[in-house]
A and B are shown apart, each in its own frame.
Chain A
Amino acid sequence: AQSVSQHNHHVILSEAASLELGCNYSYGGTVNLFWYVQYPGQHLQLLLKYFSGDPLVKGIKGFEAEFIKSKFSFNLRKPSVQWSDTAEYFCAVRGQAGTALIFGKGTTLSVSS
């Protein structure tokens, strides 16, 4: 069965610090990979996605993620976080034959100004 593991439950950073959130997935076939963000009290928004091609994908708000197939990983990065990045971050995977997303348990990012 597909599963997604997010290593960091809660990350606390100061503004301008660099961010890397880990995500590993378990799936035997070709996958689509996603990072979603949920700001406090809001719905999920897509940050970025990987379907195929260049394994380094860039998303909104300066976020990027790198797909490393050999490590089954899709880590999220941002070189310099802002207070407004405080949110829940969810990694998700979908097998190409499937439709529903399988989510990780999320990482809470708290950025202090």
Chain B
Amino acid sequence: DTAVSQTPKYLVTQMGNDKSIKCEQNLGHDTMYWYKQDSKKFLKIMFSYNNKELIINETVPNRFSPKSPDKAHLNLHINSLELGDSAVYFCASSQPGVVQYFGPGTRLTVT
């Protein structure tokens, strides 16, 4: 009965590779988000989707591309991974203007 789930939980990969992180929510929420938490634990919004439509796209390299096949899923694809991409990526969901629920996070390590 997990509300917001992410896969994988850990991802270790080499520079230059392409990887994807998946997120699913079973709360019936219309809006989903990707946040990045850096090594200093600072959390910052990357993307926000409402009903499969991109509504926020912060200053993020275009190597990052979110994809929402339906409103319950928001995947994050990263091309040409760099060392600086190492972080914990959190997915979240909410109804507009209401509390956001966060997933367990995906710890990405780029070597």
Residues of A near any B CB (own CB < 8 A):
32, 34, 36, 38, 42-46, 49, 88, 90, 96, 99-103, 105-106, 108
Contact = CB atoms under 8 A, between A and B. Distances in A.
Contacts of A36: 102
A44 B31 CA distance: 17
B56 A99 contact: yes
A106 B41 contact: yes
A82 B43 CA distance: 26
Contacts, number: 48
Interface residues of B, number: 24
Contacts of A105: 40-42
Contacts of A38: 41
Q: Which label, helix, strand, loop or mixed, suits the secondary structure of the B interface?
A: strand
A-B pairs with lowest CB-CB distance, top 7: A100-B45, A103-B43, A44-B102, A43-B104, A43-B102, A106-B41, A105-B42
B43 A99 contact: no
Nearest to B101: A46
Contacts of A103: 42-44
Interface stretch (B14-22, B68-76, B77-85, B92-100): B92-100
Contacts of A46: 99, 101
A100 B104 contact: no
